Structure formats: C-alpha cells, structure tokens
A and B are shown apart, each in its own frame.
Chain A
C-alpha cells in the first residue's frame, strides 16, 4: 500500500527546512521591528509621526502574535495606543481592556489616525481570539462590527493608496489589513459557534454560522462553518439536514475529514450500513492522501487560521480517529455485513500497515487499536469466513508460536471487586496472562474450525482438545469460595474475560463433539456436545448436533426435546457485538432446521401440530 504523508502535528521532512527558514526570518523581522520601534518611541510622541509609529507597532505586534507571544504583543499594543497624542489628552486610562479600547476609539474620533488605531484594535481582537477570550469579544461586539464595516469598505485603503501615490514614505504593513479583518471576522464566527455548540445552544450557534458561511474567506474556514452548522443540526436531531451541511463542507474543501467522519457517525446511528462503509472507505482514503498544503491567500501566511482557532471545544469537534483505526472499523464492518472478501482485504491492509515502520497516520491520542493478537484473530476469523483456511491457520500459528511460551501455568480469575485488595501490578500481570491464554485458546479454536472446514476430523479433534486443555486451566474465584472451574451461570457481564472463556469453551467442545460425530464416535460426541451446552447454553450448533447424535443413538424423544429447546433459546445479547472469532462457525457441517422439523413431524405429528 502506498502510504503518503497524511500529516498530524508533524511536518514532513521536505518542508521542515522551509518552515525553519520562515521561522528564523520571522524572528529576525520581529527583532528588527522592535529595534525600530525603540528608536521611534525614544522621543516624545509627535503628531506628525504617529501614523508611522502606529504602523511599526502594527508590524511588530503581528510578528509577536505570529510567534504566539500574546502577552508581549498585548502590552505593546496598549503602550503604543497610550502614546497617541489624542489619547494623552483624555487623561488616565481604564485598565479594563474593552473600556480602554472604547475610549481609544472615541478619542481618535474621525481623525486620520482612526484607521491606525482600528488596525491595532484588530490585532487585539486577534489576540483575544487566539487566547479564546470570546467573552471580551462579545462585549466589544458593536465596536468590532463598526471597525469591520469601516475598514472593509475600503475607504481608507483608497485614501492611503492615493496618498502613497503622492509620497512614497507611507509605511507598509506586513500583512494585508483587509485580509486580516476578514480572517478575524470568520474565525470569530467559527470559534463562537463551536463554543455555543459545546454549551448546547445549537440553534443560536447555527444562526451565526450560517451567516458566516457567505463571508469571503479561505476555503478551509468556509468548510468549517458548514461543518459546524452540520454538527448543530445533528444536535438538533435533524440528521438529513446535517448530512447536507457536511456534504457542503466537503464540496467546499475536500480535505475536511471531520465532516466525513461525522457523516459516517450519523449513518452508523441510523443503521445505514452500506453508506457507513462507503463513508469509512472515503475517510480512510482521504486520510491516506498527502495533505495538500493549503495555498494561503497572499499576505496571510503570517497569521495562519490555526493560530486563531485554538479553542478546546473546536479542536474536539474537529478531531478524527487515526487512519489505522478507521481502517480497522472499515474491515470489521465489511466482514460483519456480508462483504467478507472486501473486509479480508482491509484486514490484510491493516496488518501490513502495522508491520511497516512507516508511522504515518499514527498519533498518540484518540481511541487506540486493539492489541495485535486480537487483530490477528479477527483477521483469521475473517479469512476463514472467506474460505481461506490455510491463511487463517498461518495467522493462528503465528499467535500460538509467539505466545505459547509465555502462558502462565495456572490462572485464577477473580471478581473485579476482589482484585482491589491486591496490588495493581500483580493484577495487571494476571490479567495479561489471562488475555494471552484466551488468545492462544481462540487461535486453537480457529485452527480447529479450519480443520473442520477441510473435513480433517482427526486434526480438528486434536486442535480442539488443545484448546480445551488450555481453557480448563483457568479457575474462577468467587468471594469467599475456593477457586473452581467456572460454569455458565457465573457469567455476569458480556465482554468480560470470563464470558469469553465460557464462549471459547462452549465452541471448542461443540467443535470436538461434531468432529467425533463425523467419525462415528457418537458417545464421545454426545459427551462433548452436552458439556458444550452446559458451558454455553445459547450455542445453536451444539444444541442441534446434540439432538442429532441422540437421534442417531435412537433416543428420539430426547432429541426432539433438545432441538425444541435450542430453537426456543433466545440469546440475551446480539452476536454481532462479539468479537469475530467468538462467533459460531458458518463453515462446518450444518444441520438443516426444516429437515429436522420434518423428522419431528414424522415422529409425533401431534406434538408439532
């Protein structure tokens, strides 16, 4: 599989250099602007030079913000604004930032300095945004809106360009100021939307986000607005509209994987398996794509939108599981929903990916993949379903050879509460031992199934026996009792290792029983099948075959009772939630239920009537 760079908090080696160079240049620029500023501020403020000074302040501050030095930038901003002559006339300053800026805007009034101060306010806005002070932005909303309107109308720009034509000594800002304003506007909408959404005020958030989606902005940000609108709608229980929004987000920016992921979740929630699989496949291939470095509009590279969008709620909304865990879900879904061949391919891809040293698409956070033996077993079960017993056996062999020598001699399972008395380390060690034993047991079981599939009954019996011998080593300790061999009634919760143990035991006994039956060792077969029913009452195969053996032995009444009981048994949890390798094999010798019913009818028509 070709794995190209999907980047997660890591930059590729290729552009590390350029990034480094950019960074050095930024630092250099910053220090130069500061030197210049120190020179300018060394003299008392002169009205004629204020515009120049404020532009230098703007540049220096922007450099600081780009280096995430927000505190320094903020203090520089206030200091510089306090130096403006019109401000000094108005006397002492308010320490509260919103009030300070309100006064500042008022005091410069409608003079030529107004845009300069407004640009500084924009930088302050950026700092608030980057430090997630949305409350402050809310307080100053009216002012910011008017700033936005004034500056984006472009009146000042024209004036300036006119004056620039006349004299060449008008200082240049390092970033296009109109772009800055637009960026701030949309980022504010996005951050506010995410905040409100996480607070549960979905409809409120939706209004803001939808108005934001028509703003001029980079594609990525527009797609975020669509994505967040979709999330709001999903919260408001309108999955179809949410899907529409997600689609729009994807249409705007094809790299918006979070939209894809959320759509997948909606499909899963509504049981649309085919669509879910489709979404998972798309998600995986998108994650594996090399992320195209977004061509940022000219003049905004200093202030990437990621710097302004750092809120916790937004990043949790945007987070997506790793490519490998997506691939795992995809494989599992396919196998569970009758697309076994496809699922097997995905499983093999996953194993191959895990075996490469290329660590793309891996990050520490997020749901981690199951342990490797578990994945091997799932893949093995899938291979068996796809009728590739040889491959399945190879995988199981791998597990067995690796794990066998580490198996503990004796295992005592304990109730979870009982574990607390002991040290955690000891408990973890026992737990590890139990898991290894269960993995090896499952591997033997799968191998047994493979032999059954190949109708190699002798081998099947041997392998199942190995599995059984392993499993009976496990004792279960109840509070206040001696360790004993666990029985079916002790199984409390599904998914616990006790439950898995019982299932493995039931399945392997049933497998051996059937194998014995096939070689006409009916007594042994009956014994095993009955034991299997004891261990796992809901086992269908065991029940039916037990009846069959009884029938062959001439105990027809008992056989009928056994069949009836098996049919009437309803499992108390869905089989799908179990691991693949714990499900009953579909490949072994099967008994046809209708044929059995015919036999029953023949025997006693009155009973079945």
Chain B
C-alpha cells in the first residue's frame, strides 16, 4: 500500500517537474558536507573531492552471517553533531527515512533510491517532525515555532535534475512564510486525527497544546506542573505517542484501555495521548470527551526514553496487550490487565542501563545502551482469555531481567521495527557516528520464538530452571545479609537511643550529675618552640551502656570575651575525636591545644558533646531516606571553664623577678617591642614595667572557714589531721591555685611549696609577671552604732598587665563566689551591715558612674578627648572600683 502510494507520488512528481522546467541549480549548501570533511580535507581540495562524496556511497558490511547474529548494513553517514539535542529517526512518506542528528537539518533518505533526497534546514535545531496522514505535508518543530512543509515542495527539491546522472539532494530552507504557528521551544509533536499536539516546557510547567490541524487554530492547552525543578543540562525530549481504543493507529486491548483511561474515554472511543516526561511521569490525555483532564498513569522516577504498545494478543485484530515504558536508567514498566480484567497491573523490572533509545514490535522490546543493542522478550498473551483460575503466562519482574544481546553498538536512535519479506525483523538505527544503519535480526529466534525446537525444549527448560534457582539462591543470600546488617543497625540504634535518653534526662529539672561527663586538666607545655596551654579532657563513661563505634567526642572551645576575629565572628575552636568504643567505667583521654602563649583570651568556655553520625551507621541507606539530611545526633555533655587562674604559671619566689627559662630571645624582643610601643603611645603608661595595676577581693574569714570546699582542702593539706584553724589566707590561696573548679584542674609543675605561700608570683599567658597576695586584714565596721572589726582575707592581684589583673580578679571572684555558695546556709546569719563602708562605697560608685558617663559622652560626641584619654579615664575608674572592694561575707 505504502509502495503504491509512493510510486504514484513519485510519478506525479516527475510529471510536475517536466512541466515546470525549472533550471536546475543546487541550493543545497555544502555546510553539512564541509562539516564532515573539514578535519581531513583542506578547503581547496574540497571542490574536487566534494562531488563524488555527495553521493553518500553506501557500503554494506555484514557483521556476521553466522546464525544468531545480526546483519548491519550502513546506508549513509551523516556525521555526528555532538550537540545537546537528542538525535531522532522516523520513517515517513512510505519508506523514506527522516532523521536529525541534533543539528538544524533534517535529512530525508530514500532507501529505495539509496540516496539522500532532501534536506530540510531549519532556523534552529529541529526538535521533532510529524507527517500528516495523507502524506501531503510535514510539520517541523523548530526553536521558534512549528513550520508546515508541503511534501510536494520537498519532492520537487528531491528530483530537481532527473537528467543528471548523479542525483543530488536539495536543501529546503524553512522560511518565515511556512511558519504554521509561533510557539517557543516546542520539543515534541504529535498528530492525532485532526488534532496537532505540541509539548513544550515553560519555566515551571510542561504545556501540552492542541491545535486543529486544518486551520491551525489553537483549541486548548493543558498545563502539567514540573515535578522537579528543571535542570539546565542536556535537554531531554519528552515523548508523545497515541493509543486508540479501536480504529487506526496503535490499538490497545479494550479492557486495558478502559482500566487505564476510564469509561468516559472508552465510550467516546477517544484516542489517548500518552506523554512520557523527562521527570519520569507517564501522563495521558483522552482527546474526547471534550474537556477531559490530564492524568498521571505511572512514574518511572527517571527520564522516560520510550513508550509503546506491544504484546499482540491475537494477530487477527492486532490489538496490543500491554503498554511498555522504559526509563533512562533501565527501569521498564509493563502495563497490562490482570485477574480477568479486574484491574491493571504495573509490572516493574530493571534492565541494565543506561537506555538511550528503544522500540518495540509484537514480541520484543529492543533497546540500545549505547554499547550494545539488546532485545527483551515480552511475554506473549495466550490466544484466548482463560478464566481467572488458569494461571496466565504473566509477566514477572524476573522475566525482564534477561535481555539478549544483538551485538550492535553505538545506536542512539531507533525507528519502528519492520518485517521484511523473508520474515526477518529489520530495525533502522542511527549510530553515534551519524551512520544510518539497517539492522536485520536473525530469523530463527524471531520466528520460532524463544523455545527453539521441541527437541531442545526440555533441556532448555531445565537449564532455565537451574539458572532461575541459582538466581533465587543468590537473591536469598543477598537478602539474608541484608537482614543481618539491618538487625545490627537496629541494635546499635537502640544503644544510641538509650544513651540519648540518659543524657537528655538531665537537661531538664535540676542540674544532675550526668553519668557520662567530661573533666579536664589544664597544663602548660612546650610545643614547637612555643608555650601553649594544653587541655586534657577526660571523657568518663559511668553509664551502664557501651559507647560504640560511631560516636565522636566533640569539644568546642570559645573565649567568653575576646577580640573579634577578622570575620567578625567569635574565634572558637572545634575539636572532634572519634573513638572506637568506650565500655562502662572506662575513660577516654584527649588532649587539645587551648591557647598559645601570648593569646590571652581567657576565660575559655569548653563545651563537650557527644555526636553520633547516623550517616556512618546507615551508610548508603541514609542516602535513600529523604528526610535524613543532617544525619547526626548531638548530645551536649557538660561545659567547662578555663579561667586565668588555670592559665597562671606559678614561678617559685626565687624566679619571680628574673626571667625564667621560657623567656628566650624572642620573648626579649617582644618585651622590647612592647616597651617601645608603650613609650610611643605616650601618656601615663610611659612608666612601662614600673606601672602596676592592682585589684583585690575581700572575703570575710568567718565565711571562708565555713566553706566546705576550703575545709576539704585544708584537711588534705594537713594530711587528714584536723588542725585548729590555721592561716585562712594561706589555705585560700592554695585552694585558688590547685583546686578544680568547673571541672578543670590546673597542673602545675615544679614544687608545690611555691603554692603554699601567701604571696605567689607567676606569669600570665602573655608572660607578664603577676603577683597574688593573700593577707588577713581587719575591717572596721559600724553595726548598730558599735564599732566592730571583722577579720577578712584580702586577695590582691598585682601586675603590669591590665588584662591579667582583670582576668585574675574575675577568676578569683568567681571562685570565691562558688566556694561560698557551696557553704551550708548558716542558721542565723549574723546581721552585720557594712554601714559606713556601704555609704562610702555608694558615694564612690556614684562618682565613678558620673565619670564613666562623662567619658562615654565625650566618646560618643567624639570631641574633646582622644580615645587614648577616654581609655585612660575608664581604666582609672576600673582600678578604683577594684582597689577598695566591698567585703564579701
């Protein structure tokens, strides 16, 4: 039929040409040819070489004539484009092949004449093309719109010079006059009856537009929101195809049609447009009754590369028994009716991907992975429908797992398979190199079906069974291992949950000692010629649970206050220590550098936490779970504080003044520079080393004696022997320097005798000498008109560095507060008012406040005083505040 039409068509053409008598010029630009030849042939040579080359010699090379192999015949070569567009291939005008390699040109190749008959040149990449059912015209989708090309025009180009011995192709340029309608970015076209459908992508949705093909009036457009935001990479072409319930085109079994597309579409005998989107959705739109809505049939969750109907149940009526869709990564879904027509079954399987293109005939799905062409045998329907009791030869996912290789590589596009006179299946393919190939499949496997002959059937089925058993065994082993690992994971997750509950229980309510906690010791050590304060953290697991692999101890050290870092963020350091396992009662010791000498940003808050990484535990499975992005459990433990007292380096009195061993040359240079800077800075600080700042804290001796913390220390010092109250100042000093506070102990090398002294010399982290003095003073008090004296301990901090004085004062104050808080509430607190002291202090405070405000105002206004002066005045205020402290009782 096709041939007859084509024959008359050609003869008509011939006649038309003779009448026209148009002079034969060749508008075919050589651009396409040049592109192919440029690498090897220079431009001047082109003139000579070009002419014979244009004929597209076709050469046949049969890969193998052996049984079971395919014959591949290369018809023509078009060169590969290498562009982002998907190449495609269609059969039109009877037997002509229309193909596009992803560039602006569509080639029309006639296998009958064995030559290229026409080239259609679009203004941009040609994305799709459809032929009208009467073969009168072509609709070509290009970048800016859809063009209508009359096939007569094409034909006249094709046979321009009948007399010429070397038939040449003519190029037809798509001009704006032939624009059917303008629509930006049409990716696919489909012609169903009198309706032309276009599919294009706008920013957030796919738009399917229906045009009446007779006058190209727009009928309707349907919007499908994008499931995933569009990626900008390779533009994948969505697929449009059509199935019919009864007449014309690809016909689907009525029962399946009704199940899939509904009773309305079936009653209206409506053609249904199937649309495979690059996001994996398989949509359908019945064209009738008017106003039907678009539905989603299935989602492959990977770009759909092929949709078709296959599995012809009865050859007589030619109805397709199932729909096949193939995804890019090899997922195949077969849709067929099940259970005697109760419902539609979606059988999913996976073939080894990636799938570049596919096509389907009555029994098989052919697909190309780029490296091989494979055929997948689709299960055949039984000729008559049995009752539900009889088990039909149903499709199972396992059946989809055994494609057979056809040993043809690099096929990028396939056209509909055809059957030749000898009963062989012929495929037309476009290879990656731009070769148009005819692939003839061996006839034996085609005709006899899979079980070849009755004699071999038995052996074959046993073999199949054995391999199936092997498959099952393998799968069982994999599943078993899977279950085991899942159990393991569950057990560990349980442990993690236990620990989480344990640690989370303490956070609310009163501060309780957590069963898992950290303590630390701070010590100075020399690392890389530089002194640094090292914090040794000890993680103590006193819980009944084992901390298993996967836990990480995370320590974050951040200064409470400090100079802002360059980025404007606080400079905090994070350390994490993964560990293997920590059994109950065990401890884990880690060391971390807290600060180098010279960086005096104390106090430092050290927060410890335990982190468990779910990603590490779940491994690949975590990637599958969508809601598990920050897959970590973080459990805060406790917070430690390292203050100035911890960082104080005590020197023995003898070394107090003289520079110690650590003050080497660089220190000397530093000192010099400091001195220099000070002298340049001018002002009161010219005195440099001579200038000493001081601050003191006064605590009533009585309250100190009651403090259990101090008592314990005393007891220790006395070797357990309770002695009459000895020098409170001395014990306070000792306690200050040695006791663990906030979970941190300072380790001081050298003799401890240096600490047992009411005057302690030392150096701050920057190396400034510091003197701490504890002395007992009597404070006169006026209480109720009476003069009373109170014994108090005064801790005095003296140093040339303001920072050291401030820091140490703060540290001492914090500790004394902590010590007194632990003291048991005295039954009747002695009511002593520091009447006169208070009044004096108030006066002083008011005066100082005034002074501060003054300096603030002047600072804000920015006139009068320089910043140096303002600083100076603030400093003096601070010092005065610290000089005469109130008594802590």
Contact = CB atoms under 8 A, between A and B. Distances in A.
Q: Do A and B interact?
A: yes
Interface of A: 5, 10-14, 16-17, 20, 322, 324, 353-364, 368-369, 371-373, 376, 398-399, 402-403, 405-406, 408-409, 436
Nearest to A399: B267
Contact of B263 (A5, A16, A406): A406
A5 B212 CA distance: 12
B551 to A, nearest CB: 41
Contacts of A356: 288, 290
B268 A355 contact: yes
B290 A353 contact: yes
B294 to A, nearest CB: 10
**Closest 4 CB pairs between A and B?**
A354-B289, A362-B291, A13-B217, A372-B264
Interface in B283-297: 287-291, 293
Interface of B: 181-182, 192-195, 210-212, 215-221, 254-255, 258-259, 263-264, 266-269, 287-291, 293, 341-342
Contacts of A403: 258, 263
Contact of B215 (A14, A364, A368): A14
B215 A13 contact: yes
B181 A17 contact: yes
23 contacts: A10-B219, A10-B220, A16-B218, A322-B291, A353-B290, A354-B268, A354-B288, A354-B290, A356-B288, A357-B192, A357-B195, A357-B288, A358-B290, A359-B291, A362-B220, A362-B291, A364-B291, A368-B291, A369-B291, A372-B263, A405-B341, A406-B255, A406-B263
B216 A402 contact: no
Contacts of A17: 181-182
A258 to B, nearest CB: 20
Find the residue from B192, B215, B220 having the highest chain A CB count within 10 A. B220
A359 B268 contact: no
A10 B221 contact: yes
Contacts of A322: 291
A357 B194 contact: yes
Contacts, number: 98
Contacts of A12: 217-218
Given A357-B219, A359-B291, 4 more contacts: A362-B220, A362-B290, A405-B255, A405-B341
B307 to A, nearest CB: 21
A500 to B, nearest CB: 17
Contacts of A358: 212, 219, 290
Nearest to A366: B291
A409 B268 CA distance: 25
Contacts of A373: 263-264, 267
A358 B217 CA distance: 10
Nearest to B340: A405
Contacts of B258: 402-403, 405-406
A476 to B, nearest CB: 22
A406 B341 contact: yes
Contacts of A13: 181, 211-212, 215-218
Contacts of B342: 408-409
Contacts of B216: 13
Contacts of A402: 254, 258, 263, 266-267
A438 to B, nearest CB: 12
Given A359-B210, A406-B263, A5 B288 contact: no
B288 A371 contact: no
B221 A20 contact: no
Nearest to B257: A402
B209 to A, nearest CB: 9
A136 B218 CA distance: 40
A303 to B, nearest CB: 24
Contact of B182 (A16, A357, A368, A408): A16
Contacts of B293: 364
A376 B269 CA distance: 14
Contacts of B192: 357
Contacts of A408: 342
Contacts of B212: 13, 358
A14 B211 CA distance: 11
Nearest to A439: B263
A403 B262 CA distance: 10
A372 B221 CA distance: 22
Contacts of B217: 5, 12-14
Contacts of B259: 406
A399 B220 CA distance: 28
B218 A357 contact: no
Nearest to B194: A357
A324 B267 contact: no
B257 to A, nearest CB: 10
A355 B219 CA distance: 15
Contacts of A371: 263-264
A402 B268 CA distance: 10
Contact of B218 (A10, A353, A354, A406): A10
Contact of B220 (A359, A398, A406): A359
A343 B541 CA distance: 88
B764 to A, nearest CB: 56
Nearest to B259: A406
Contacts of A376: 267
Nearest to B195: A357
Nearest to A433: B342
Contacts of B290: 324, 353-354, 356-362
Contacts of A14: 215, 217
Contacts of B254: 402, 405
Contacts of A368: 291
Nearest to A325: B291
